[in-house]
Each structure stands twice: as structure tokens, then as C-alpha cells.
Amino acid sequence: MSTTPLTLNDCRARDAADTLHPLRELFDIPEGVIYLDGNSLGVMPKTAAARAAEVVTQEWGQGLIRSWNTAGWFNLPQRLGNRIAPLIGADADEVVATDSTSINLFKVLSAALSIAAQDAPERKLIVSERSNFPTDLYIAEGLCKERGYTLKLVEPEEIAAALTADVAVLMLTHVNYRTGAMHDMPAVTAAAHAAGALMVWDLAHSAGAVPVTLKASGADFSVGCGYKYLNGGPGAPAFVWVHPKHADRFWQPLAGWWGHAAPFAFTPDYQPAPGITRYLCGTQPIVSMSLLGCGLEGFEAAEKLGGMAALRAKSLALTDLFIQLVEERCQGYGLGLATPRDHAQRGSQVCLTREHAAGGALGSGAFAIVQALIARGVIGDYRAGDGGIHKDILRFGFTPLYIGFEDVWNAVEHLRQVLETGEWQKPEFNQKHAVT
């Protein structure tokens, strides 16, 4: 920790010196909002409104069915996939944008189990983290029931010991959604392979947030999200990557027309297209999918300014600053740090814990503090604990494309005021919504 407390002016000076700072001008950030929830839904690129109008009124309205050819709808999943590939350490023609992360995880996990069933039929476990994103566990649970496998859930520090001779697949999310803790992708992938298991990575909280090295790490399968750090818009299609050595080996069971080798021959028998195209299934939501392209423009603009390496350096500087300011300015309010201090283990978010005792009759108060911050325009989010080792979490995402150092100062200042004034104890901040 620094011995001289930081000031607002220090933060402004950092923005002035930040060569990435002008990139925020590519985005529309609502007046009066400090948006620290880009890990849940990224902000809107300024080009999105015009692109939506073009797709709706021109491509749909005027082009109609002809736009499959004239507007390039037919290879849009591949074109977007090729733009995502450099962000995740994949090569051209190895990625498609399509469907949701959950659906894509079903596809790759099905394929992984098919490979395992052939190469190592005695292996009957899928290992994952207990605090992996729940939908990933639900998909795995469903497939385990279908295929006669067992899903074994462990804490992060137990993963190495869990890689026994009966493990078929290790399935992990690269950056944990609750804590922001990041796995060492090359090391964990190597450990899985050394144990004879296949490695599936979910990049929901890392694509666009941290450098990802799928191919260099030797990973087998991966999926990721289009609407978090990639800024593709609400529910933007997800993406899927399969190592080329596996891509042609099996069908995935969601075999639809768009993954067929000759989709317009309308033959009754399924013949999977070569490569990653066989991971497509049915017709895609073209308007939402087109907007994902606007989100990717931000990364293409960043490319000239140092690309993901520069974004990563700024992300770490932002999260370091947030941790430092919280510790300097919000002492004595029962906050703890869930996110690792070690840069090598940190994604692009900082998660604070709060002890239940600190909130008295209001539980941990974590939910209410987040609501009070949102009312002040500082948007983060809350994730409930389980009453055990997983505590209530205040979660703040720092997207280096559009968050600056002064934003961090102001966010912490609001947090300090919410805690100091006891504002979070107001009844209106303690009413839980359907969705939080």
C-alpha cells in the first residue's frame, strides 16, 4: 500500500496520461452514471443505433430474403468469429458467433464427452468449481444425467488433487464471476492434459477483459459471451471455439441446417460442415448478432494503441487503484477483498465481501449498499453468499475501454459516503427485486 494517500487530482492526472482514455468516446455512457457492471452487460457503442437502423430498415425492410446474400447474413457467424479470434488466442476460421453461452457449452461438452467415451471410456467424471457460473453447472448436470457421467464440484484449490484417473473433462470458467479470480490457463490446461482429461474453458468474464491464449495453452474447447466485455448488446449471441484437431471428429447433437455441409441442398440426411461451422444450428437473430459487430469495433480501435496488452495493463491499474482507495478511504465498515491481489490471478473486476455481522439486522448489508450506490449512479451488482465460505459480494467490473481513473475515485467516494452516512440502511435499498 502507498503511504501517501491518493487524491482526486492524482486520478485525473492518470486519465490525462492514459493513451487509451480517448476510446471512451466510442461509447454512449448515460449522463451521471459510473458504470461498473460491464462484466454483466457492456455499454452501448455509439455506432449501434445506426447499425440497428440499417439492419432493420435496409437489410430486413428493403432487402428482405435477398439479404441472406446481399447483406452477408449467411456467413455472419463466421465473420464475427474471425473478429473474436484474436481476442481469445484462436486462429482464423476456428470461431463462430452463435446461440447462447449455455447452448454452446452443451455443444462442446457433448463433443468432449463423445471424444472421452471413445478414447477413455473408463473416465466418468466431469470436474468443475462449486462457484462456477451456475448455468454452466446446470448444463453439465443435464449432460451427466443423459450420458451416465458424474459432475464433481470442488473449490479452486482442490482442482489439482481432483484430477484423478477417472476424470474425462475439466470444465472451468477462466475468470470467476463471483470473485474475479483468474485461473492460469496454460498451467491448468497442462495439468488437465497430464491427468488425461480434456479441458473446456468458459471465457464469459475474460474475452475482451484479459488476454486469452486458448491455442497456445493447448485448450480443447471454449465458449464465451457476446454481451459482457465484448459490448455486443443485451443477449448478443455467444461464441464457440473448438481446437482444429477435434473440430471434424464428432457431430455435436444440436445439428441444424446452418451446420450442414450443404445447407441449401435440403437433403434429409445430416452431413456436418467441415470445421467449426458444424457448431452452428438454427437460424440466428440477425439484428442482435449484427450489433455484436459494433462491440468488436472498440477492440479494433484499441489495436492501434497496444491492443489487449495495453487494455490489460490499464485494467490492472484500475483495479489496483480501486482496491487501494477502498482500503484507504472505506476502513472500518466491515468490507473485505474477495479478489486476488496477485495480478496473475485477477480478472478485470474487484469483488468486496461484507460480513453478516457488519450489517446487523439487515444481514451483511451488501445488497443494500449496492442499491444505494445504484441510486447515486454508481452501477455495480450484488451476488448473494451461501452462508458458508462464499460470502455476500459487492461486485465491480472495470472495463478499460470506457472506465477512467477519475471514475474509480468517484465510485469509491460514493461508496465512502453511503457507508459513512448509513444511507444504505434506508428501507428502499433493502427491498429485493425480482432481478438483481
Rule CB under 8 A: is residue 152 a binding residue for a copy of itself? no
Measured from the CB atom, is 217 or 348 closer to a copy of itself? Answer: 348
Which position among 120, 153, 273, 313 is part of the footprint of a copy of itself (CB under 8 A)?
153
Within 290-309, the residues that bind a copy of itself by CB under 8 A are 291
Rounded distance between C-alpha atoms, residue 286 and residue 291, angstroms: 9
From 86-94, 241-249, 284-292, 305-313, span contacting a copy of itself (CB under 8 A): 284-292
Rule CB under 8 A: is residue 145 a binding residue for a copy of itself? yes
Quick check: is 429 catalytic? no
Alpha-carbon distances, residue 428 vs 12, 23, 134, 370, 384 (angstroms):
34, 36, 29, 12, 18
CA 397 remoteness from chain centre: 11
279 annotated as belonging to a binding site for a ligand: no
Residues 6+ apart with CB under 8 A from 424: 365, 368, 369, 371, 372, 418
Within 372-401, the residues that bind a copy of itself by CB under 8 A are 374, 379, 381, 383-384
135 annotated as belonging to a binding site for a ligand: yes
Quick check: is 228 catalytic? yes
Rule CB under 8 A: is residue 59 a binding residue for a copy of itself? yes
- 126 contacts 149 by C-beta, under 8 angstroms: yes
- 172 contacts 201 by C-beta, under 8 angstroms: yes
From 35-43, 155-163, 212-220, 405-413, span contacting a copy of itself (CB under 8 A): 35-43
**3-state DSSP percent of the chain in helix, strand and coil, to 5:** 45, 15, 40
Within 73-102, the residues that bind a copy of itself by CB under 8 A are 73-74, 99-102
Quick check: is 395 catalytic? yes
Which position among 1, 266, 304, 388 is part of the footprint of a copy of itself (CB under 8 A)?
266
- 394 contacts 350 by C-beta, under 8 angstroms: no
Q: What are phi and psi of 419, to 5 degrees?
A: -75, -45
Residue 221 CB, nearest distance to a copy of itself (Å)? 17
From 119-127, 265-273, 307-315, 358-366, span contacting a copy of itself (CB under 8 A): 265-273
Rule CB under 8 A: is residue 65 a binding residue for a copy of itself? yes
Alpha-carbon distances, residue 120 vs 116, 117, 169 (angstroms):
5, 6, 11
Which position among 5, 22, 285, 422 is part of the footprint of a copy of itself (CB under 8 A)?
285
Alpha-carbon distances, residue 434 vs 41, 96, 431 (angstroms):
18, 33, 10
Catalytic residue set:
133, 202, 227-228, 395
